Amino acid sequence: MILTLARRGMLAHKRRLVGLTAAIALGVAFLTGTLVLGDTMRASFNEVFATANAGVDAVVQGKTVTDGPRGNEKAAVPADFADELEDVPGVRTIQPTIDGLGQIVGTDDEPIGGNGPPTLAGNWIADPELNPQRIAEGRAPRTRDEIVIDAGSAETGKISVGDRVEVLLPEPEKFTVTGLTKYGEQNSLGGTTYVGMTYAAAEKYLAEKGEVSSIILQAEEGVTPEDLVARVDPLLPRKTEVITGEQLTEQQNQEIQGGFLNFFTLFLVIFAVIAVIVSGFTIYNTFSVITAQKTRESALLRAVGASRGQVLGAVAGESLLIGILASVVGCALGIGVAALLVSLFKSLGAVLDSARLVIEPYALATGFGVGILVTLVAAIFPALRASRVPPLAALRDVASEGRTRMPVRAVVGALLIIVGVVTVSSIAWRPDDPLPRAALGSVAVFVGFVVFGPVAARPTAGVVGLPIAALRGVSGRMARGNAMRNPRRTAATATALMVGVAVVTMFTIFASSVKAAISDNFVGELRAEYVLSTTNFSGAGFDTAMVRKIRSLPPVAAVSTLDPASAIIDGEAQDITVVTVPGLEAVTGLDADLTRDGIAVDTEKAAELDLRLGERVTFEQAGDPATVAKEKRQAKRKARLTATAPPGAVPVEPPEPEPVKVEITALFPKSNLVNGILVPRSLYEGKLDAADKPGIYTLLIKGPPEAQVAAQRIADRYKAGDVLTREEYADEQAGQIDQLLGIIYALLVLAIIIALIGIANTLSLSVFERTRELGLLRAVGQTRPQMRSMVRWESVIIAVFGTIGGIGLGVLLGWALFSAVAETSGLGGTLSVPVGNLVVIAVVGALVGVLAGWRPAARAARLDILDAIANE
């Protein structure tokens, strides 16, 4: 019986049903689509790695060292270990690999790729079991000046087999292209470029002498990969490990998932969650209005003997049915969304062409569960509130509009906002560990805004409505009155938009503040007038010869490099900046008496780590496990060696070398230009055990304008890009942030659309509720355009109210986010509020109102006067 009521209730208002379903379904679709996309990409990568490692039984590789700026870096493997492996029984094939970076220059003299995906280079491995790539055209390289390149790069750079091309390694070298490679049927993989050369050439250009990246092993018949690993393990050189091919695939999967892919998915999920929150507010409000309108119906049910539980049950049942319907639609839409995105990613080469949509049950279950849960929660609260009204009071009471205890709201809301603001403010005077406080403060401010909304709704709508009333005459006056008449509803309607606008504002403010900080740091503190920075941060960086040549140019006063990196100092990972000592002070203005054989620490960092001038600290790149783990491993190795070694043999244990110690030779005042620890490039490159050649990415040049011209000439010879003024450089950095902001805006459009549906829904319900009033207006001479204008302006007032709240909330949230990030990243700087952008946001908010009011306004104008004013 109750279910029948629920079903009838749902079907009786199809239009309302469509609006509700759309709001929930969009949120669910985004969430499901995001999850499916992530799974599909994961599966695609897995397939890539599994194919690549299909013939690999075991691999000897360097252990993972620190998380460098380019992700995980691995230590190198001594090349002569390959010779030792020949003596291991059961080894069929030994294939050393050298992996590095090299950027191909196209026939148009433009370097190819490098804006994200790495520009890979390595020794070409002919064995198809060990190499997922195949030569689609031409032949493998045979001499040191022959290479194969991926077909994608050949297409981009208009390169054909037989052409002479330049490759930046990073020093420019000329090679003859003898063949084009493909990944299965795909021209290239995920936007990467590839150069394959002979082993000798790879050794010369890509590796330190006597080092390789890894050694691939294949086992003889009857020897399992695990056996092979067990036999090789005791012989391993320092900082290397041996794992099976399967483990390698697993490791590669984890690397990409732990890094880019998880970040990417999380990024999307965050926006999906925002969309779900917005749709939650939207449908909560719709249910509130519906419940208010149905109060008398419910009261009648109560009067004829239904219990409170049964009435609630009917509401729960109805919302459950809507939730199920919307979630099913949402999941289906989500799969469609994912399919669209996957095909987009395929066309970008980021997903294998052969990849099929991976729809895991959990993804559907998540979307489905979230959809139903959000719907139920959104429906049950208004129903609970309504069920507290005594049945007879509800039957007698004509006005179905809810009353609020405004003073309580005002106090609680204001308190929450104040507590949130104070919490975030505390970051300024106690900067350590700011993230939890930023998060807590943000939540308090957010909840405070939602609670305070109804209190602010009437006065704000009144003020917003004033110019409209003045300009639009009686339609405007009535629009203003309508927006003010039920502050609780106005606030709830506006909340969804407020959340969307708040997030948009937050990112806008954050981005603008970060840009301002970067610009301040560069333009304000830097003494060098010019910057040469590579666009290919996943490449190998600049040729040191080029840096030398620029430094020796007559007009150039000073040159230094500034490259962020990381190292382990006294056993703890730290962000460092690798610098060249000569010219450092002239270029940066840093007052650091840095010598070539020591490191410099800024005073703040020194205090934090309790370091003193002259102190010697251990300095490692290798992320070796703690000594305890090392000892355990040694013990295990010894035990194994004694077990397998012939009796009488004395196991030879290579001594673990002590970590390098360096002296702190300078302290300097904190600067936002560099990380807290400066390491001279000579020390970093020479004395320390670097995995691969540490690249030079940013070059700072001090000198008159002639220096720019001269340096540009050298840079052109090395295809190193443009020598920019520091202002141009700061603008370029800002441009990158704007790009990211653009993507974020695109993702937030959905949240805004859902909020728009919410306003449209509520207005439609209000129009329905005011049928008689609207009929009267028409009878006494309101024209249809006047009626439309009235409803539309009401929508605009509500939207502007939500937008104002959203901007206010967004400014506070952006401030919280920036405070935390500026503090943790050492970026520094102060909050920058871009008034122009906020005005644009406000205008967009008002436009949302116009759009949301369109359909309700049209419906109101179509209203049949006689139906509206009929007495019976």
Binding interface with another protein (CB under 8 A): 473-474, 477-478, 481-482, 484-485, 772-773, 776-784, 786, 865-866, 869, 871
Distance CA 216, CA 748 (A): 46
The encoded tokens of residue 611 equal: 């370091």
Q: How far is the CB of 861 from another protein (least distance, A)?
A: 10
Q: How far is the CB of 474 from another protein (least distance, A)?
A: 4
The encoded tokens of residue 139 equal: 């032949």
Of 487 and 583, which has the nearer Cβ to another protein?
487
Distance CA 3, CA 22 (A): 23
Q: How far is the CB of 473 from another protein (least distance, A)?
A: 6
Of 658 and 872, which has the nearer Cβ to another protein?
872
Of 398 and 626, which has the nearer Cβ to another protein?
398
Measured from the Cβ of residue 646, the count of other Cβ atoms closer than 10 Å reads 5
Distance CA 240, CA 242 (A): 7
- The gap between the terminal CA atoms of the chain, to the nearest Å, is 30
- Do 145 and 201 touch, CB atoms closer than 8 A? yes
Number of residues written out for the chain:
872
Q: Closest by alpha carbon to 99, among 192, 185, 182?
A: 192
* Kind and range of the H or E run holding 531: strand 530-533
Q: How far is the CB of 472 from another protein (least distance, A)?
A: 11
Q: Closest by alpha carbon to 140, among 115, 165, 111, 177?
A: 177
Q: How far is the CB of 770 from another protein (least distance, A)?
A: 9
Q: How far is the CB of 777 from another protein (least distance, A)?
A: 7
Of 549 and 770, which has the nearer Cβ to another protein?
770
- Do 762 and 285 touch, CB atoms closer than 8 A? yes
Cis peptide before 170 (omega within 30 of 0): yes
Q: How far is the CB of 871 from another protein (least distance, A)?
A: 5
Of 638 and 772, which has the nearer Cβ to another protein?
772
Residues in Cβ contact with 724 at an 8 Å cutoff, skipping those fewer than 6 apart:
530, 531, 532, 533, 732
Distance CA 326, CA 330 (A): 6
Of 6 and 777, which has the nearer Cβ to another protein?
777
Q: How far is the CB of 779 from another protein (least distance, A)?
A: 5
- Do 28 and 326 touch, CB atoms closer than 8 A? yes
Distance CA 34, CA 37 (A): 5
Q: How far is the CB of 379 from another protein (least distance, A)?
A: 28
Q: Closest by alpha carbon to 439, among 809, 820, 832, 741?
A: 820
Distance CA 28, CA 31 (A): 5
Q: How far is residue 486 from each of residues 16, 355, 383, measured CA to CA in Å?
A: 20, 53, 18
Q: How far is the CB of 773 from another protein (least distance, A)?
A: 6
- Do 499 and 445 touch, CB atoms closer than 8 A? no
Q: How far is the CB of 795 from another protein (least distance, A)?
A: 15
Of 482 and 508, which has the nearer Cβ to another protein?
482
Of 481 and 721, which has the nearer Cβ to another protein?
481
Of 478 and 753, which has the nearer Cβ to another protein?
478
Of 376 and 869, which has the nearer Cβ to another protein?
869
What dihedral do alpha carbons 103, 106, 110, 111 form, nearest 10°? -10
The encoded tokens of residue 163 equal: 């052409």
Of 238 and 485, which has the nearer Cβ to another protein?
485
In the 3-class helix/strand/coil scheme, how is 197-263 assigned residue by residue? ECHHHHHHHHCCCCEECEEEEEECCCCCHHHHHHHHHHHCCCCEEEEEHHHHHHHHHHHHHHHHHHH
Of 480 and 515, which has the nearer Cβ to another protein?
480
Measured from the Cβ of residue 367, the count of other Cβ atoms closer than 10 Å reads 31
Of 636 and 862, which has the nearer Cβ to another protein?
862
Q: How far is the CB of 781 from another protein (least distance, A)?
A: 2
Q: How far is the CB of 853 from another protein (least distance, A)?
A: 17
Distance CA 98, CA 79 (A): 10
